[in-house]
Each structure stands twice: as structure tokens, then as C-alpha cells.
Amino acid sequence: MGEIAKVNNIDIWWEDYGDKSNPTVLLIMGANANCMQWPDQLIEELVANDLHVLRFDNRDVGKSTWFNKETFISKIAKLLPMSVSSKLINYVFGALTDEEGNFVPSETANSKYDLSDMAKDAIALMDHLSIDKAHIVGASMGGMITQVIGLDYPERTLTLTPIMSSPGMGDPNLSGMTPSLVEGIKESFLLNIQGKYEDGVVRIYKELTGSRFPFDEKKFREELKPIMAHGHNPHAGHGDAVGASPNRKERLNEIRVPTLVIHGTEDAILPLDHGMVLFDTIPNAKKYIMDGVGHEIPEQLLPEIINEMLTLFKGSNG
């Protein structure tokens, strides 16, 4: 399954489910993750409720066009003894983050695109498929792209559902990453330069999982296999794209479509206060807060999550 659409001057891989005459739900995945990470149960339940579901690989991952390849730092680290590489990575991360665990925007960062470009990819795909409007659902960075679409393409949106997302980087009033996640990212980078890409993904997701539903490594690795096989770019420039994009906090009150904010109370990378800014600032937004949940969409809560989404969709004009 799946096709390539040549849109916005790049290749975007996509696939859809359900009757095309039904209202469309557009799923936008987060940073460094291809669209295979969307749970099958979510897609199946949406289709069973008379919705047309469209998912696609963002640029730089999966089977869509890749922009970024191995970084200079990674190439250097590969040539050094592991103990020296570890010190180099500590130095680099020290320069990239402040004491609170917030990423510090770099003036020298060379982002090849930003979230506006990625939003344009999604809209161009909708044009390609003759989809006028859609319910836009995004996870993490995908939730940021969802906000950009709601702000810059309101005429194309039925509803917005940003999941475990944020109004943007660079706000000193918002919580940073947990120290344990920062350490996990460093260790993941070391695993990546050794070519242990699956181990690198596992290391990060172990830190992103909350206490309510403990991380099951064996099951996670099994579910990860088809995701990695679909196309894993360990050098995707999504983080740079997020950092290169303006914070949306001051514009969120412009959003006029029904919005549902979904967030976990133990999110290690985008803590709960990031999601609460969306809820507090977007007019008439609804929220679904997942106690004890991290930066994840737990299968145990999918029935509740889907019910909340369906309520939002049915309350709109779509």
C-alpha cells in the first residue's frame, strides 16, 4: 500500500483508509518518526466511525524526501574513542540546552526548512487528493504543524487535535526536558554513531514513557521493526525545523475551529505546561489530560482518546 505524491517540490509518501466521501482525518506524526507509528487501532476505529483517514511521512523520514544526512559532529564522533565521543556529545548538548533543560535556539543552526514548510507539505497533499477540509490531528511536532495549519490555513481545517505538543520553543516560562531524558538523548546519539539505530530509539522511548503504563521493551522492539523497515532517518532535521520556527503563543487566540488538547502529566520532553498553554489560549479548547502518562499514546487509553476525538469531530461542521 501507499503512494508517492510529488507536491511542494518534494516526494511525500501517503496512504489512506476508509471511504473517501467521508470527512477526512489527517494524521501528522512527530519528530524523527514516520507515519507507521500511528496505532492501527486508532485508524481502524476512526474508519469504523465513518471517517476517511489519511496519514503520510513528513519530509526527512520514512519514504518521503530526505533532506538531512549525517552531521559533521556525528562523523567526527565516529572517528574518536567512545570515551572521547561521550565527552564531545556532553559538550555539544551543554551548548544546546540551558540549566532547565530547554533547547537554546542557535543563531548558527542551518535548518533546511521550518514548520511552515512542513504545514505546506500537508496542505499540498490535501490539494493533490482534492480534500477541501480535514480534521487535523498531530502528535508532538505534528501537533505544532497542526497549530500552523489552524493559524495559516483555517479554511482547510474542521478541527484541531494537538497531542503532547507545545506552542513552540524559546519560552523561558515553560518547563524544559527532564535531566534523565537529556541523558537518554546523549546515550541514543552514542548508539546511533555505532550504527545501533534500533537501540537508540529504544533508549529514548524508555525515557518518554510515563509510570502508569511501564515500558515493555520486548513488545516495543517487536512493534518497532516495521516502523524501522519503512524508513528511519537518524539524521532528520526536524529538531532544527522546530527551533527555526517562531513561537505561536501570541497567535493561538486567532484559532477559531474546535480544538482538543491531549497531554500526559509525566511528559519528559514537552511537560504538561506546554499543553496547558494551548488549552488556556486557544478559544473554547477542550482538554483530555492523561494522568501518569509520558510523551506517548498508550494503547490502554486509546478507547478514551478515540471517544474524545469523535466527540470533537461530531461537534464540528464536518
pTM: 0.91
Distance CA 163, CA 111 (A): 24
Q: Which of 262, 269, 281 is nearest to 167 (CA)?
A: 281
Q: Which of 115, 113, 135 is nearest to 9 (CA)?
A: 113
Domain extent listing, the chain: 1-318
**Strand stretches in 3-133, DSSP E:** 3-7, 10-17, 24-28, 52-56
Distance CA 213, CA 34 (A): 23
Residue for grid cell 519530509? 59
Helix then strand count (H, E) for the chain reads 11, 8
- Per-residue model confidence (pLDDT) at position 69: 78
What's the CATH architecture for 1-318?
3-Layer(aba) Sandwich (3.40)
Distance CA 213, CA 192 (A): 27
Residue segments in the chain with a per-residue pLDDT below the cut of 50? 107-108
Positive or negative: CA dihedral 27, 267, 237, 203: negative
Q: Which of 241, 246, 280, 283 is nearest to 263 (CA)?
A: 280
Whether 71 contacts 237, CB under 8 Å: no
- Per-residue model confidence (pLDDT) at position 110: 75
Surface-to-core class of residue 24, CB atoms within 10 Å of its CB (0-12 exposed, 13-18 middle, 19+ buried): buried
- Per-residue model confidence (pLDDT) at position 190: 84
